[in-house]
A and B are shown apart, each in its own frame.
Chain A
């Protein structure tokens, strides 16, 4: 009984419980939901939103946001595919893709920390910029990657034992960033500046430096996620990955990352991601039309934000006594 109480009292416990219920529900009501094949494809579809959610969670915890992360991923995929198409060896192309991601994140950091705009607004504007650019550089065509890049394709679709390689990469990144958040000085200052910007400043925390690093990091992770998708699809399209930011924010906020900053962790982020992905896959398995799934995806984000909002309001109430 004690364990039950402990689980239901912690936010993460509740989300965990809900995830398990979702898995059980679809496992019982649909056929093939828990088959090896389906689990494999669930893991693969976690990779894009998951990798983006790493950088996004850190941004959210620090009190910032990047709505254009999906389009940064799209640009990343295109850059990578084009560089490989231009004859560069894939490791070099991937490295340059990361550089491109850093530049995209750097632009946002500049807009937020030097110009003084809100991340929310600036990144919204960047969506359009990247979307237009991606159409221009590809002439709105899909760029195919030639089949003699087998090693590169492995990053997107290979597997070690049961686990897809991109999934292993994502989990490894989550562990690394989780440790950074939990164990390092840098990680701690992210929470402090997100929790109370003014107080952190008066304690000597340099918010601009922190958020600049986080924006650049987020851009790089997004571009990398886009490249991984390109490696899986063997091509890059100007319409790929574009829902990345929304999916990542849904996962992170469902997993307890505070939309207004100051709280959250990578474990929660992963559980939120699992919940969203299992849920989507379950809907597919139960034969729901794909368009309805998009609607439900939106409702999930809505639910996540509601939970976050009510949490914040309860805190505010507690504050006013």
Chain B
């Protein structure tokens, strides 16, 4: 009997966002099915549902015709589902063998760990993969690539029926990729169901039998790999045309002098980055997750170290040593992760709005609370933040309103912001509020403020930015004007 895996009507709702919407497709044993789509298309969410890590809001899936939705990863593993996530989930101090068999360690009759069997079994798997590592080595001492291989061996050791890979080759070298592909071919020959997520076109065509494309949480199409080509795939992934939202934006069309000049900037995560930004210009930073965009802006902002290179901001040369220095010079950063890095969640809108301007809001020794309330009220009105009181805690606001509080923080009248950096400002925000935020960005640019706009949603970058930089692996791989940019050429620059 061939194994089969069928998704029926899977949907996943997060507050304000539909991560997955009515997903239906079927995968068969002895075949590799590639899952493709842009960032945020819902591939990883589907894998998490498959692994029992999160529960779908609706729908279910069938493994070998049996209905299966798991409450926890352990049950899923026992039922023969192994998912290898992009982020490694290792216990760094434990050995290779212990990591491979984590949760399923062989035991002696007395209930202790049977180390002899453990190491022997681990060695067998390592030999099968043909890797030069030892079962007793702590994984912390392995390279990132080998850690990734340990993760794959862990999945393999559980003898799964379904094995899913989420971008497994992102940190592997060519030799290791070859070893991985050999293993995948073997798994295929054993009749297992293989799901494979990757952005690398070449890999897809080398490995996959079937391809399923997702877009914005929805199933777009399923095709045979033999019938697909790169153009066809990219078109399916990119999907719809850029909507009217962008056409209706009232943009800034007059730029001032050069505001920011970055020359050959380097640190651990970014390599040789150079670009310039003028006053009133919106510069888009496109690329895939992990391309180094966040790291680049953090380096400019003084939040991460710069190893070499030069920054000239508003005529003043020199890199910033801390966010404090950058803010004093007139740079503001709205970070990618609003909850972790943007807001003090359990304090009020008022307190969150005024953090960077406390110093210029004094009346003698004390804070001028009247002025503070005025500033907050102005921000609430300017950005139409929906709340009944400014004393509401930041955590009680929706994602869109949270983002507006952060915008209000950096653009109030006590700030002298010259450069505003927005890192994924519309992440997890509903469509209506997104459009509001796009217009706010354009309005901010009209005041002569330079804007760096990072987004993984390519249409958004093309729609909002005047000029676009595309990044990949910490390098800038392309500079495009809005007129010449389209999703195809940006995606091509963002991938290998």
Contacts and interface: CB of A to CB of B under 8 A. Distances in A.
A204 B328 contact: yes
Q: Which 3 A-B pairs have the closest CB atoms?
A: A195-B344, A203-B355, A204-B324
Contact of B344 (A200, A204, A206, A321): A200
B365 interface: yes
Contact of B15 (A184, A188, A321): A321
Contact of B355 (A192, A206, A262, A315): A192
A203 B323 contact: yes
B23 to A, nearest CB: 22
A198 B341 contact: yes
A145 B351 CA distance: 49
B462 to A, nearest CB: 28
A189 interface: yes
Interface in A152-191: 179, 183-185, 188-189, 191
A4 interface: no
Interface of B: 14-15, 301, 303, 322-324, 326-328, 333, 335, 339-347, 351, 355-356, 358-359, 361-362, 365-367, 395, 409
A205 interface: yes
Given A204-B327, A204-B356, A191 B367 contact: no
A201 interface: yes
Contacts of A195: 344-347
Nearest to A185: B358
Interface residues of A, number: 25
Contacts of B344: 191-192, 195-196, 199-200, 262
A200 B356 CA distance: 9
A125 to B, nearest CB: 23
Nearest to B341: A198
A184 B366 contact: yes
B262 to A, nearest CB: 19
A185 B322 CA distance: 20
A214 to B, nearest CB: 17
B366 A191 contact: no
16 contacts: A179-B366, A184-B367, A185-B361, A185-B367, A188-B351, A188-B367, A191-B347, A196-B344, A198-B341, A199-B340, A199-B342, A201-B323, A202-B335, A204-B326, A204-B356, A319-B345
Contacts of A198: 335, 340-341
B298 to A, nearest CB: 9
A192 B367 CA distance: 15
Contacts of A315: 346, 395
A319 B362 CA distance: 33
A185 B358 CA distance: 6
A6 B395 CA distance: 22
Given A191-B351, A195-B346, A202 B15 contact: no
B367 to A, nearest CB: 6
B341 A199 contact: yes
B367 A201 contact: no
Contacts of B359: 185
A319 B358 contact: no
A202 B14 CA distance: 27
Contacts of A191: 344, 347, 351
A318 interface: yes
Given A188-B351, A204-B324, A319-B395, A263 B366 contact: no
A184 B372 CA distance: 12
Contacts of A263: 346
